[in-house]
Structure 1
Amino acid sequence: MSPKQMLVLIAQNEIKDDIVDTLIELDFLSGFSLGTICGFSREHSHFNIKEQVEGYREFCKFEIMHPNEQQEALLAAITLVCKHNPCRYWIMPITHTGTLC
């Protein structure tokens, strides 16, 4: 089994479905996780009025475990979707994985 790593991607909700469609098409992925998060920032000028009052903006967070050697292909595919809506990401090595029963 090849080494794996985790890509965490923070994206605007407006492009969530496009990212999902992109990830589903990648045959080297067995799946991914998606959730909603609250993003806090010192750059409130990018927030709309509702977000400024609440103090945060809602984003979607993807967690995508993938083979190390597929990193460039994964980033290239996601970059096409994020072209007009920049997404923040980071990649972490996975040291252990398994199923607990």
Structure 2
Amino acid sequence: MSTEQLLVLIAQNDIKDDIVDTLIELEFLSGFSLGNICGFSREHSHFNIKEQVEGYREFCKFEIMHPAAQQAALLTALALVCKHNPCRYWIMPIYQNGTLS
């Protein structure tokens, strides 16, 4: 059984580079994934006019596999970047990982 976890972080695009810089500095991470997503919400009052018309807001999604023992350190580092732009996250266990060849 793996001792790794997957943290999924949804962040506003304007702090994407700061999050990347923070993650690259963490020596216990071997890497992470980043992609663009469209976020839909019932709380349209938080959307600007363009987003209200389109029906969604653009975000970036980080997927960060990390050792379970480093969860607190990872969340602490990310909290510093996200303190003025709250980011939603969740953590899931990884039961197995490897490389297929």
TM-score bin (small chain): over 0.9
| TM-score, with structure 1 as normaliser | 0.98
| TM-score, with structure 2 as normaliser | 0.98
Are 1:24 and 2:38 an aligned pair? no
Q: Tell me which residue corresponds to 2:96.
A: 96
Q: Tell me which residue corresponds to 2:9.
A: 9
Q: Tell me which residue corresponds to 1:77.
A: 77
How many equivalent residue pairs? 101
**What amino acid maps onto 1:14 in structure 2?**
D
- Any gaps of 5 or more consecutive residues in structure 1? none
Kept in 1: contact 2:7–2:91 (CA 8 A): yes
Calculate percent identity across the aligned residue pairs: 84
Residues 93 and 2 of structure 1: CA distance in aligned 2, closer, same or farther (over 3 Å): closer
Give the whole-Å Cα distance in 2 for the aligned partners of 1:58 and 1:78: 20
Question: 1:42-71 CA deviation, whole Å, 9 max, x = no partner?
Answer: 111110111000000000000000000000
Residues 46 and 54 of structure 1: CA distance in aligned 2, closer, same or farther (over 3 Å): same
Kept in 1: contact 2:6–2:63 (CA 8 A): yes
Kept in 2: contact 1:4–1:65 (CA 8 A): yes
Give every structure 1 segment of 4 or more consecutive aligned residues whose post-TM-superposition deviation is greater than 2 Å.
Answer: none
Paired residue secondary structure (1:29): coil
**What amino acid maps onto 1:25 in structure 2?**
E
- Any gaps of 5 or more consecutive residues in structure 2? none
Paired residue secondary structure (1:58): strand
